[in-house]
Structure 1
Amino acid sequence: MWTILASPIAVLGGCGSSAAKPEQSSTVSDAAAGAIWISRSGCGSCHQIPGIMHASGLVGPPLIHFSQRTIIAGYLPNTRANLARWIQHPQQVAPGNAMPDAGLTDKQARDITTYLYGLK
């Protein structure tokens, strides 16, 4: 089921100018857009992420059941705000760690956060 969400065609509801694009989504976070940003940002090259095609990396931790974890990056309490900050600026949060800055916007980081929190 989650694999379908990762497909931009399924997420966007087909072709045409009326289909919402992640860049045009509202300020409310959107798990479907988060799946697209996860794919586009290459997160799966380091992490195993359920529902994301080819997300089978072994460098970072697997992200299954992410919402049930208590900490992020070894020391941050697992809150939506901390996760969005970590996703957007991992090198500012913990300089020298293995996670690269992906150049994500606030909205993109919130969308990815929403997707990850949906992994029960």
Structure 2
Amino acid sequence: MKKILGVISVLVTLVILGACGGKAETTTFTQSPMAGTEVSIIVEHKGDKITGASAKAVFDNEKLMIADEEAADQVAEAFKTSSKLEDAKVKYTDKETVITYDAPAGSVKSGSSYKEGEKELIKMGFEKK
């Protein structure tokens, strides 16, 4: 009897650990609102629950005629203003200007449903990469 209870106890523990330890995943959604620009939203999720999200916009300096860091700052400021971003970071290189920021909370809020967030992003014109 003790052996049976021991085996059942081990099985219950394994089932509980298996249910709690789902694998975390990252999915990227992209959109090119205009030539030379790509916006990506990176969604981290565990099962159907979003655990985090970030976003970045990449501007091709040559295609958008961004010649120097000052021009990149002007483009970044216009993007931040039009997108109502507060804590955006800008990185300029000769090839591209990258703006990283928090993903829009309306579609991919931490703790919300990944499936619903995915539907919302696709409705907004993003494609799953």
Q: Normalising by structure 1, what TM-score?
A: 0.27
Q: Normalising by structure 2, what TM-score?
A: 0.26
Structure (1/2) with the larger strand percentage: 2
Structure (1/2) with the larger helix percentage: 1
